[in-house]
């Protein structure tokens, strides 16, 4: 083995006193050999001291079961929206 890396888990949050203006949450599921990696990405627009800024981060977790099941392509988008809303 030539290289090993470790990324420590970090939880990001809005700066103290910031007001959240808009939040976009995206979910992606990656199938791996023994389960699934679920990535929940956040794009948060906020205001602090009259200045607008953005916070971006991704939370990852593992599951043995695929948390989404999309069988009908016509309702694919609605099911994903519902899934994202349920995770809030």
Q: What is the pLDDT of residues 53-83, one digit of tens each?
A: 999 999 999 999 888 876 655 555 555 555 5
Each residue of 2-28: pLDDT tens digit? 999 998 888 889 999 999 999 999 999
Counting the structural domains of the chain, the total is 1
| Residue 81 falls inside a structural domain | yes
pLDDT at position 81 is 59
| Residue 4 falls inside a structural domain | no
Q: Which of 19, 15, 20, 37 is nearest to 28 (CA)?
A: 37
Q: Which of 37, 40, 44 is nearest to 13 (CA)?
A: 44
| Residue 73: domain span | 19-86
Q: Please indicate, yes or no, whether the overall pTM of this predicted structure exceeds 0.85.
A: no
| Residue 44 falls inside a structural domain | yes
Q: What is the mean pLDDT of the chain?
A: 84
| Residue 40 falls inside a structural domain | yes
| Residue 11 falls inside a structural domain | no
Q: Look up residue 82 and give its two tokens.
A: 């519902």
Give whole-number Cα distances, 13 to 8, 17, 45, 50, in Å. Answer: 16, 11, 12, 18
| Residue 3 falls inside a structural domain | no
């Amino acid at each position: 083995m030539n290289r090993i890396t470790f990324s420590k888990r970090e939880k990001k949050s809005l700066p103290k006193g910031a007001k959240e203006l808009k939040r976009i949450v995206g979910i992606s599921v990656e199938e791996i050999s023994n389960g699934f990696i679920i990535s929940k990405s956040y794009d948060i627009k906020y205001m602090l001291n009259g200045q607008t800024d953005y916070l971006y981060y991704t939370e990852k977790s593992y599951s043995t079961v695929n948390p989404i099941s999309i069988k009908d392509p016509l309702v694919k988008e609605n099911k994903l929206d519902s899934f994202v809303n349920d995770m809030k």
